[in-house]
Amino acid sequence: MGITLPQSFADKMKRLLGPEYEAFLASYERPRKYGLRVNGLKLAPEAFLAMSPLKDRLTPVPWAEGAFYYEEQDRPGKHPHYHAGLYYIQEPSAMVPAELLGVAPGDRVLDLCAAPGGKSTQLAAKLKGEGVLVTNDNARERTKALAKNVELAGIRNAVVLNEEPAAIARVFPEWFDKILVDAPCSGEGMFRKDESMIAEWEKHSVERCSAMQRDILKHAADMLAPGGTLVYSTCTFSPEENETQIAELLAASPELEVVPVPLAYGWAPGRPAWVEAEAAASLSEPRLASIAGTVRLWPHLTEGEGHYAAVLRKSGEPKDGSLDARSGQSSDAVEVGKLNGDDGGRVGNRRSDTGRPAANKREERKRDREQDRALKSAPKAKDFRSKAAKAALAHAGNPSDAWKQFGAAHLHRLAREGYRIVAYGTRVYLQPAVVPPLDGLTVVRPGWYVGEAGTYRFAPSHPLAMALSADETRMSLHYEAEDADLIRYLKGETLHIEERDLRLRGGAEGDESANPLPSGYVLVCVNDYPVGWGKYSGGGMLKNELPAGWRWM
């Protein structure tokens, strides 16, 4: 066998599994499974299959919407479709918890232990842009990857936090319809996927993880609205982190009950008999037995790595009646706040985030300088903007106005209902209107980061580009995935374009005069899906606006 399991782990599994142990052990001889999940926020699985070079090599993961197994050599992370956020690479078993949560458009959803964001992107796709996703991780560094994945996936209705669950519970008591606790765990189910997890396991004991899980679950239960659903999941086998956690939660929260997971695809029932004695004694016989309704994914029985999941429901009816009724009113109110733990809407843009060698960064800076020089010497298009439009651009001071002016000039029928504009300094975000004040919380993203208001111009953000559709912009440029110019764009280079290739649309709110094109921001797309902004000022040269941290390396 390629993998050497820790002896104490092997002994424990042998004791737990009895005659099944040999089959379990044999699963370590088989290759791990690779999965990707099509981003339903951007396109349907059929549309993806119709254009993907992988189409004949993908086979469906039966338990997740738009999910497929791929082969190791396919390397889907190295393709323009990946840079357009058309799919997320995710281990197939890890897709189960978000499927079990039953999220529907309009729900208030919390992903409490979310980084790097695989399940958040899955949950957001189920919201279809309606309702809100609060996504959190208590590890500051990890929230950078979380925010970046939220933005790559084009999620508009997410708030990203970097907090302990107790602090979030103070702001959101009984507030969420759906909560996912994908808990930090000892990772025993991941030994085959990632051997470094074995060393991690030796560091993070089952006992230490159990204590963390108990604390997280307690606060999660406090944040669940009456009638709401909570899914608890781990990627470990140890009963202390699985069935025992659920037993303790049921004992502490009489209003929670297990919703049995239907068994299919080789999934196996949870094991009430494995609950530790003290926890078992604190439950009535039927409540203890109900833990059989939780689910175990064993690598020898199903096509994925080891996982555990439990679905729990809180008794009672949702407080304010229909979820739709609570979806919030649109508002133009501007809130000016300070971003705690601010990484400035530039997660992908900060040098320290890239983890790349200094030589690469020097090259990038050199390329940027060359690009600026080339653009300065290119012939300029006539500036057709009216005097009033130019004056309006020097808005000096109000970030909200700057955003609106940008919208009038560059966007086309962007729906804004259900969002409020929130300004943190000069940065502008659109926040789902139902979100309460986030005072006292470490906020990584208070909403959809749409751009930054400078004194004379509004710079649209990369996350704005990633969450738009081409139809919502006034100018877009479309490439096939194989086009060498597209790869050059993704590498940060200036492009030479034919003006006639720009696709133009009318002004926002019917205002065709705001900015007679072609001049200004262009949404660059692979097929119909955005990969970033370019800036066109005539002369056939498109300035590359892709932030350094988002480029193809």
Ligand X SMILES: C[S@@+](CC[C@H](N)C(=O)[O-])C[C@H]1O[C@@H](n2cnc3c(N)ncnc32)[C@H](O)[C@@H]1O
Q: Which residues are catalytic?
A: 235
Q: Which of 128, 142, 356, 413 binds ligand X (CB under 6 A)?
A: 142
Q: Which of 35, 85, 106, 116 binds ligand X (CB under 6 A)?
A: 116
Minimum Å gap between C-beta 467 and ligand X is 19
Q: Which is nearer to ligand X, 112 or 206 (CB)?
A: 112
Residue 442 engages ligand X in binding (rule: CB under 6 A):
no
- Residues 6 or more apart whose Cβ sits within 8 Å of residue 282: 247, 248, 251
Q: What is the largest CA-CA distance in the chain?
A: 82
Length of the chain: 553
d(CA 505, CA 507): 7
Which residues carry a binding-site annotation for S-adenosyl-L-methionine?
113-119, 137, 182
Minimum Å gap between C-beta 275 and ligand X is 22
Q: Which of 117, 131, 189, 520 binds ligand X (CB under 6 A)?
A: 117
Residue 222 engages ligand X in binding (rule: CB under 6 A):
no
Residue 119 engages ligand X in binding (rule: CB under 6 A):
yes
Instruction: Please choose, out of 39-47, 80-88, 135-143, 534-542, the segment that lies near ligand X by the rule CB under 6 A.
Output: 135-143
Residue 495 engages ligand X in binding (rule: CB under 6 A):
no
Residue 306 engages ligand X in binding (rule: CB under 6 A):
no
Q: Which is nearer to ligand X, 306 or 399 (CB)?
A: 306
Minimum Å gap between C-beta 110 and ligand X is 11
Strand order of the β-sheet with 475-479 is: 495-496, 541-544, 529-536, 520-526, 475-479, 503-504
d(CA 204, CA 242): 16
Q: Which of 76, 106, 165, 272 binds ligand X (CB under 6 A)?
A: 165
Q: Which is nearer to ligand X, 236 or 461 (CB)?
A: 236
Q: How many amino acids of this chain bind ligand X (CB under 6 A)?
A: 20
Q: Which is nearer to ligand X, 217 or 283 (CB)?
A: 217
Q: Name the residue type at position 519.
A: S
The contact mask relative to ligand X for 167-186 (x = CB under 6 A, - = no) is: ---------------x-x--
Helix 206-223 vs helix 243-252: crossing angle, to nearest 10: 40
Q: Which is nearer to ligand X, 182 or 248 (CB)?
A: 182
d(CA 540, CA 152): 28
Two tokens at 467? 């969450």
Instruction: Please choose, out of 115-123, 413-421, 466-474, 542-550, the segment that lies near ligand X by the rule CB under 6 A.
Output: 115-123
Residue 189 engages ligand X in binding (rule: CB under 6 A):
no
Instruction: With beta carbons less than 8 A apart as the criterion, state whether 94 and 119 touch.
Output: yes
The interface with ligand X within residues 197-216 (CB under 6 A) comprises 212, 216
Q: Which is nearer to ligand X, 117 or 460 (CB)?
A: 117
Minimum Å gap between C-beta 494 and ligand X is 35
Two tokens at 422? 């929130």
d(CA 48, CA 517): 31
Minimum Å gap between C-beta 136 and ligand X is 6
Minimum Å gap between C-beta 457 and ligand X is 36
Q: Which of 118, 304, 418, 520 binds ligand X (CB under 6 A)?
A: 118
Residue 368 engages ligand X in binding (rule: CB under 6 A):
no
Residue 530 engages ligand X in binding (rule: CB under 6 A):
no
The interface with ligand X within residues 55-114 (CB under 6 A) comprises 94, 112-114
- In whole angstroms, how far apart are CA 275 and each of 24, 50, 143, 180, 354? 21, 48, 33, 22, 44
Two tokens at 419? 């969002």
Q: Is the peptide bond before 116 cis (omega within 30 degrees of 0)?
A: yes
Two tokens at 538? 């005539």
Residue with tokens 């940060």: 492
Which residues carry a binding-site annotation?
113-119, 137, 182
Strand order of the β-sheet with 334-337 is: 334-337, 419-424, 427-432, 448-453, 458-460
Q: Is the peptide bond before 518 cis (omega within 30 degrees of 0)?
A: yes
Instruction: Please choose, out of 11-19, 99-107, 136-144, 352-360, the segment that lies near ligand X by the rule CB under 6 A.
Output: 136-144
Helix 118-127 vs helix 140-152: crossing angle, to nearest 10: 40
Q: Which of 3, 139, 273, 394 binds ligand X (CB under 6 A)?
A: 139
- In whole angstroms, how far apart are CA 290 and each of 239, 490, 524? 15, 52, 52
Residue number of the CB closest to ligand X reads: 113
Q: Which is nearer to ligand X, 142 or 170 (CB)?
A: 142
- What stretches of 114-267 adopt beta strand conformation (E)? 132-136, 158-161, 176-182, 224-234, 256-258
Residues forming contacts to ligand X in the complex (CB under 6 A) are: 94, 112-119, 136-139, 142, 164-165, 182, 184, 212, 216
